Structure formats: structure tokens, C-alpha cells
Structure 1
């Protein structure tokens, strides 16, 4: 099984090795499918093919294996199965490295609504606050065995490129293929100058290039260190999910990952029957009802706003561990999946920050201004932040884009927000490359 990977929120840069300067990543393994496949009309005419299909479904094996079994015995059937949109999700042992996980999911969240026990709705927790990593997506063209072309944005997020794998290199004076290191090389597609323009793309117009995306998440109560994924090619599902993720991020001060409030509320993934429109072959809009993946967040918005006004009281701090480790504030959020952002201490607690030399010093929050020594800087001073950015060699415009996506566009207005961002900069004083990698990962995924 292929394991996808997503960048962790607030990931620190790993030491440089022979494999290069890499960001820590979290593996994903295990797929939940959005629908099923059924026999085509031609295949359904054969009684033996119907028997093979029903046997495979009863054994809960993948539809790919069912299709392979049919083609082995009936090679004249070019396409035995076609997708069908249904109101439930499919969970099969073959799609998970730990084959007990589907049983756990179905035991916890399966329902019987008259068609047997199905997975109609389940809770999810996201491991990062960056929605582009929660829901990676691209335009892609696939050949029989591999991805042929795919879209990829430039580092500044302004240009969408069309990429392909670079041809294998041949050693001079021989036919020997040169071994590559670090995986297959990629390049801009030469015949369209590397520009992804669907309206001018022959593959897109021929329906060979399509939008492909996936949700990446954990499922509460399911014992797995790996995240799971749910693939989708619906622009409606992804657009509506982005709206909800951005809304929750705004309400929670830039946070999406972990539990949503003190009641351990979570997002839910389900399906809703909605009318969607498309342009038909005659150029006119056509409406049809489809089961669309829906991201829901049944939460008390007033509770979220109260938490923000009170300085996020869910965040607990252990100052002694912080002081001993010589790091920024250490926090413990109950049952958080992927760790959390360091935040502000209560006003009555001591504030601990890292010195430039890696040591630690303790400030009393109630007397931070009066008791500051000479040369100390008020952490809410934007000018001091920009000066520190310059010393670290980071462009102010890049950091502002990064901060707006991570903490919300109003971070510089709120004194607590400014203090939080200043703490982030201070923690990276001795290793600015780690912060540069985070900034590039965030603003490069626009």
C-alpha cells in the first residue's frame, strides 16, 4: 500500500542529511471510499459475472479485485464495473495496513438505516491548522500505470504549472540509463510551456484531466498512529469544506486541528443529497441530484468566541517543564492528535521565553513592562518584529502572508496575537531555516 504524507503543523526542519533538508511529516495509511461500484449493463447480462460480483461484495474485497476476477474469466468485457454514488461510505480491510481498523470504525460509527450496517456519518480530527494540507488537491491526468501530468503552483502561489516526470537520462556513448537519486525527477511540460490552462488543455477537454483531492484526518476512538484519507473529485464538496474550515479557523484564532472546544466537539464527515449544475454537451446548464460529501461542525459558536475572548482557557501550561527544557511554553491539550501551538499564559502566571543563547528567562506577566531590564523589547511592538525578521533574513511580505494564514488576518491588531507571533519568532532565532521552511510550505500551497 502506498503511504501518502502531509506536513505537520509547526513542523521543525530536520537536520540536513544525505536525503536533503526535509520537513517532518506524518504518514497517512488507510482509505475510506466515498461510494461503490456496480456492474455495467453489459456485464450484468451474464449470470456468472453477477455471481462473481456478489461473492466479492459479500467477502468485502476491493472493487478492483472484483473487476480483476471478472476480466480473468470474461476478457471480452472491456469495463465490468462503473462507479455509483450512494449515501454511505465504504470501509474495507484491504484498504488499511491494520485490518482491524475497519471493524473499529464500523463498530463505533456504523448505522443500520434499513440497508444493513453502513457508515453514513463519522467524526474526524484534523492534524494541522493549514487547510491546504488537510485537503490537498490537484488537476491530474493518469495513464494506465502512473500519473502522466499534474498541476503544481509556483513558490509564490501565483502561477499554476503543468508538470510531468522527466525522461530517463542515458549515459554518454552508451545505452545505459543513469540511476537517479532521491526519486524521479520532474519538469515542466514542454508542449504547453509548463502552464496549466484547462480551457486550452486537450486532456482536460477530453475529460482525461480531472480535479483530484482528498481529506486527511484522524477518527476519534480508532487506535492508529496513521492518519486516514477520503478521496473526492467534487469541486462542490471541496469548496464547501474550505468555507467551513476557514470559518472555524476565524472563530478559533487560526486553529483547525484538535478538538474544537472544551466539550471535545469535532468535525463530522457525512453526505447530503444536493442538486448540482453542470454544463451539458449542448452548452446549457443541467441540474441533477447527487450525494455530496459534506463537512459539518456541530458546535456552539458562542463557546468558541468566549474561549477566544478569555485567552483560550483550554490551553494548560507546565512552566517547570518549559524552564528545564529551555524552550517556548509547553502546552497540553486533552487528547490533541498532532500537538498544538504554543500560546499565551494566564495573566497571573509566569511567562517563559527563550533567550538568544538558548537559555530561558522568566517574566512575570503582571509586571512585564515595569520589571523589564535595559534593552528588553515589548513583545507587542510590530517594529521589533520586523527588525527581528530582517536579522533572520526573512522577507516581511512572506511572513505577513504566512501569519495571516496561520493566525488570521487580524493577528497584528490584538495584543495577545502580536505577543504570540513574537514568541514564534523568538523560538526560531537560533534556527531561522526552520521558520523559512514553514513559511514556504504555507504560502507555496495557495
Structure 2
């Protein structure tokens, strides 16, 4: 599966990051009636009817408020051990039943629920498949949200820009939707410790997983929202571990046996600060990203004949009692050489020299390119058949947009240098 590039692209609608179309939601929990609302027979009836009909909790809450307007907040979230799959959360409601039929389980309570299910991710760039931010939501739109600066060093605070107005009474309608600007009253810096919204629990971590589910037909991705720091942080560690072992890849199946990732829940004690400012712990069902794959098999798949050439040559020299010299496995293209465009067909793996020759046609600095690729796929990508193929495919994707690719590399290298600084 081809990687979805994280770089922005120029088009009629401007430069914008890649966005994956979403076909529906899997929810991490449920909502139940508050203690006060549960004492109202009509509220209980409407809640039971809505759940049985597969309505979303927003629809159930709206129906209760229409019937009993004195109930301010009739529903509250509840953390449970399963995921919620409702037909109303899908453009094609049939998908919800297909998911439950394929991966649902019937446990002690007799209800068929989704406790654990397989997923594959459409991109090797984990921020693309697990976007997250600190955000403050208003009644109609996001009021404030966090976003890192271009160099990756500063977490900034953004907000919607005021609507422009002209000489006419009617405000100007902006092309492309509402624009954004850095928040003025805090200098555009996101600092949770000094942010009144964060300290008042109005600003929260907001993240989601974007994925495909094997066996469920859809060209759009499914999404799973979470506000759990523990779930997102653990997922990042899993992504980075798998990426390291697979030469930079997290997309698609994990191995030749078509092993996917799995999403499940684990009961853990999590720490928090209570209303009196004291540390406390509470049990919570936390989303867990599993990668049930044989690690040794992943490492073996990274081996190829090229990685064996040097050890074999050295062993021969030792057995023959000859002085050992570590010769490079592949000859790099001289910088002064005229740019060429090598041809690689089908599943053939390009050599390191062929990759560098293609790099030169972009006008890229080889040192900057190597710094970028070593960070993206690990320093062993050039000795790995899959790693070289991945670098080649990325170059091919940007053949018609060399300036965009140069900009992508410069941005990533500068961001990495900023983080080290």
C-alpha cells in the first residue's frame, strides 16, 4: 500500500495537509442517564428505545431534552470494556452490522459487543493516522487548538480569525472557509500550566485513530476518538517500535502472514490530580494498540542478499588468512556525475546507487537527503531491499513536483535539528 505523503500539496484549494475520508465512527465508550435523569420514567423509556433502535447518544439526548427540557444534561459518559458500534454513526449503516458480525463477541451479559478487532493503517506517517491536539470546543466550533510551528519546536495556540468585513453591511464570505490565526491574548503560545481554559478543564487532549478494518469493504477509513493521554502515548511507542523493525513502515499488514494491528481495551489504574490538588488513582479501561507479531520474523524480513555480502566477504578473508578490508557493498554515484534517471521495473529492488542517481535529478543535496531518509526509515534503509524500494517509490511519487519534495525534506530536516537543539 502506498504511503500517503504528509507534505502539503498545491492545488486550486491551496496548500493543505492530507486528509483521509471517513466512513464512520467506532466509539470508545457509552453514555448513560445521570442519577437525576434515571429517576424520570419518561427519560428512561426514551433512553431504552434509542439504544434499542441504534440511535447515537446525541440523538437520544436531544429526544430526552425535547420531552423534558428541565433536564440540563441527562447523559454522562461511562467508561466500559467494549467499543460502541451504532448504525447511525455510518454513512452506510450496513457497515456497523458487518463489523459486529465479523468481530463481535458474546460474553457474560449475553449482548454481542466489540471488544477487540483488527486494523491496518493507510500511512507510514503516524501523525497522519493518529492526529491529536489540545482543543477547546464551543457550542458551534473549535474555539482554540494547539499546533506545532513549522520547525517543530514551539507548540502554538490557534483560534478562528475574525470574519473580514467590507464596506457593505454583509460580511465578506471567505473562500475556503473560516481562516485561522494565532491567539492574541497569550502570544500564540500553548502553555497548559498557565492556560485558564486548560486549568478549568475546558481544554482537553483530543485524538483519534484512522484505520481500515480487514474484511469490511470501504474505501474510506474508520475513526476512533480518544482523549486518553495514556492510550495515545502508548500507541506512539508501538508505532515507533514497529516502524524501526519494518524499515519505517506501519501501513498495511505487519508481515507475510497478513498479521494486522489490533485495537482492544485494558483495565489500568491511571493517575490524576483531584479537585483538592492531591494525586489520586482510578481504574480506567484504556484503548490499547496491539501488534501481535513475531519480532524475529520482522527482523528476518529486513535481511536480503545485499546485507549478507559484506559479512560473507569478511568471513572468506578470515578463513583464507587474508587481511580484511571493509569494502562498501554498493558504489555511490559521484556527485559530479551527470544526472541520470535509472529504470527499475516491477518488484525489482533498486540499488543504493540508483536511488542516489534519481535523487540528483531532483537537485537535492545528498547529505540533506541522507539525513532525512535516516530519520524517516532508519540508518539501515540503504542496506535493506524494502527500505531502498520505499525510498525509490517516494521519489517516484514526487517526480512531477520536485520543488515540493525539496521543501518537504528541508522542513523535516529543520524540524529534526530544532528538536535536537
Q: TM-score range, shorter-chain basis?
A: 0.7 to 0.9
- Cα distance change, pair 246–400 in 1 and its aligned pair in 2 (3 A): same
Larger helix proportion, structure 1 or 2? 2
Secondary structure, aligned partner of 1:191: coil
Q: How does 1:210-229 map to 2 (within 5 A)?
A: 210-229=204-223
Matched, 1:423 2:396: no
Using the TM superposition, give the Cα deviation of residue 170 of structure 1 relative to its aligned residue in structure 2, in angstroms: 1.1
Using the TM superposition, give the Cα deviation of residue 426 of structure 1 relative to its aligned residue in structure 2, in angstroms: 5.6
Q: Which residue of 2 aligns with 1:142?
A: 137
- Cα distance change, pair 396–149 in 1 and its aligned pair in 2 (3 A): farther
Q: How does 1:367-378 map to 2 (within 5 A)?
A: 378=353
Q: Which residue of 1 aligns with 2:127?
A: 132
Secondary structure, aligned partner of 1:18: coil
Query: For the Cα contact (< 8 Å) 1:130–1:442, is it kept in 2?
Result: no
Match of 2:373 among 400, 403, 420: 403
Using the TM superposition, give the Cα deviation of residue 422 of structure 1 relative to its aligned residue in structure 2, in angstroms: 6.5
Unaligned stretches of 5+ in structure 2?
A: 307-329, 331-337
Quick one: distance in 1 between partners of 2:26 and 2:339? 47
Query: For the Cα contact (< 8 Å) 2:206–2:226, is it kept in 1?
Result: yes
- Cα distance change, pair 243–359 in 1 and its aligned pair in 2 (3 A): closer
Quick one: distance in 2 between partners of 1:49 and 1:144? 24
Q: How does 1:309-348 map to 2 (within 5 A)?
A: 309-310=303-304
Query: For the Cα contact (< 8 Å) 2:50–2:60, is it kept in 1?
Result: yes
Match of 1:295 among 276, 286, 289: 289
Q: What are the superposed Cα offsets for residues 127-148 of structure 1, whole Å, 9 maximum, x if unpaired? A: 0111111110000001111100
Matched, 1:101 2:95: yes
Matched, 1:252 2:222: no
Query: For the Cα contact (< 8 Å) 2:339–2:361, is it kept in 1?
Result: no
| Aligned-pair Cα RMSD in Å | 3.3
The TM-score with structure 2 as length reference comes to 0.81
Q: What are the superposed Cα offsets for residues 354-413 of structure 1, whole Å, 9 maximum, x if unpaired? A: x96878478xx99x8xxxxxxxx93477xx798667x24x7955x45642443124436x
Q: What are the superposed Cα offsets for residues 233-261 of structure 1, whole Å, 9 maximum, x if unpaired? A: 00000111111111111111111000111
Quick one: distance in 2 between partners of 1:8 and 1:178? 39
Match of 1:112 among 106, 111, 123: 106
Using the TM superposition, give the Cα deviation of residue 176 of structure 1 relative to its aligned residue in structure 2, in angstroms: 2.8
Q: How does 1:384-399 map to 2 (within 5 A)?
A: 391-392=363-364, 397=368, 399=369
Quick one: distance in 2 between partners of 1:440 and 1:133? 19
Quick one: distance in 1 between partners of 2:40 and 2:138? 29
- Cα distance change, pair 291–143 in 1 and its aligned pair in 2 (3 A): same
Using the TM superposition, give the Cα deviation of residue 438 of structure 1 relative to its aligned residue in structure 2, in angstroms: 4.7
Query: For the Cα contact (< 8 Å) 1:139–1:210, is it kept in 2?
Result: yes
Q: How many pairs were matched up?
A: 381
Secondary structure, aligned partner of 1:378: helix
Matched, 1:74 2:39: no
Q: Which residue of 1 aligns with 2:317?
A: none
Query: For the Cα contact (< 8 Å) 1:129–1:406, is it kept in 2?
Result: no
- Cα distance change, pair 395–37 in 1 and its aligned pair in 2 (3 A): farther
Match of 1:18 among 12, 15, 37: 12
- Cα distance change, pair 267–418 in 1 and its aligned pair in 2 (3 A): closer
- Cα distance change, pair 12–278 in 1 and its aligned pair in 2 (3 A): closer
- Cα distance change, pair 17–420 in 1 and its aligned pair in 2 (3 A): closer
Query: For the Cα contact (< 8 Å) 2:359–2:366, is it kept in 1?
Result: no
The TM-score with structure 1 as length reference comes to 0.77
Secondary structure, aligned partner of 2:21: strand
Q: What are the superposed Cα offsets for residues 42-63 of structure 1, whole Å, 9 maximum, x if unpaired? A: 1011111111111111111011
Structure 1 range deviating more: 292-301 or 424-433:
424-433
Q: Which residue of 1 aligns with 2:316?
A: none
